[in-house]
Chains A and B, each alone.
Chain A
Amino acid sequence: DAKTTQPPSMDCAEGRAANLPCNHSTISGNEYVYWYRQIHSQGPQYIIHGLKNNETNEMASLIITEDRKSSTLILPHATLRDTAVYYCIVRVTSPGYALNFGKGTSLLVTP
């Protein structure tokens, strides 16, 4: 699986958009970009994933650059409950995949 690079920490004011970057310059054509988050003391939670196109769901938007070497997770209106560690993961497309978590970005949403 390709490695990812994320900033260790970020701050965001409540109500503003949180933009979390991820570099995955060695991503292969058959690898997807996944985002998970982990709120303190809980198990990781799936947010969104994508291959080439931008994706949006009820939680977030995922913007993938055209060369697929980086992506941005966008939380459009951050709330205090979005304070968590966010993990960007790229994964090969093989049966029985496993997620390999890095260190992630610790996002702090402030009032």
Chain B
Amino acid sequence: DAGVIQSPRHEVTEMGQEVTLRCKPISGHNSLFWYRQTMMRGLELLIYFNNNVPIDDSGMPEDRFSAKMPNASFSTLKIQPSEPRDSAVYFCASSPRAGLNTEAFFGQGTRLTVV
């Protein structure tokens, strides 16, 4: 398996533009997580899904952020409108099943720069 695939790897956009980050989890995994990493705040959990259903989105910073998982093999994180403070590395992760003794596999991340 190719692992968790995120696209794009790098994104530079202007303030006010819409940004869509994409994630393909490992086949057969039914939990998916979106994280954001900055120097100031470290790794923050934004939202996670089990069986394509959002379970906890309390980490989503504002209404400008939204995430969807239309099927088991694809998820998006959208920021509209984007702001310079959204600049960060966004990681997607998946795990094989909900519950115990499961490790999360992370993608390589998307480095977002909003100018």
- A residues whose Cβ falls under 8 Å from a Cβ of B: 32, 34, 38, 41-46, 49, 87, 93-104
User: Is chain A's binding surface mostly helix, strand, loop or mixed?
Assistant: loop
In the assembled complex, the Cα of A38 lies from the Cα of B93 at a distance in Å of 13
Chain B residue, CB-CB nearest to A103: B42
Taken together as a complex, chains A and B put the C-alpha atoms of A76 and B107 apart, in Å, by: 27
Q: Contact partner of B104 among A41, A42, A46, A102, CB < 8 A?
A: A46
Q: Which residues of B contact A94 (CB under 8 A)?
A: 99
In the complex, 18 of the A-B residue pairs with CB atoms within 8 angstroms, ordered by the A residue number, are: A32-B100, A38-B43, A43-B4, A43-B106, A43-B109, A44-B43, A44-B91, A44-B93, A44-B104, A44-B106, A49-B101, A96-B55, A97-B31, A97-B100, A99-B93, A99-B104, A101-B35, A101-B43
Contact of A93 among B43, B45, B100 (CB under 8 A): B100
Q: Which residues does chain B contribute within 8 Å of A98, judged by CB atoms?
A: 33, 45, 48, 56
Contact assessment for A95 and B98 in the assembled complex, using a CB-CB cutoff below 8 Å: yes
Using C-beta atoms within 8 Å of the partner chain, give the interface range for chain B: 20 to 34
Number of residue pairs across A and B with beta carbons under 8 Å?
A: 59
Chain B, Cβ-Cβ closest to A47:
B103
Is B7 located at the chain interface by the 8 A CB criterion? no
Chain B interface SS verdict (over half): strand
A97 and B45 form a contact (CB under 8 A): no
Residue of A nearest to B56 (CB): A98
Query: Hey, what's the 0/1 contact readout for B44-75 against A, CB within 8 Å counting as 1?
Result: 01001010000110000000000000000000
Given A43-B109, A44-B91, A44-B106 in contact, is the A97-B42 Cβ separation under 8 Å? no
| Leading 3 A-B pairs by shortest Cβ distance | A43-B106, A46-B103, A101-B43
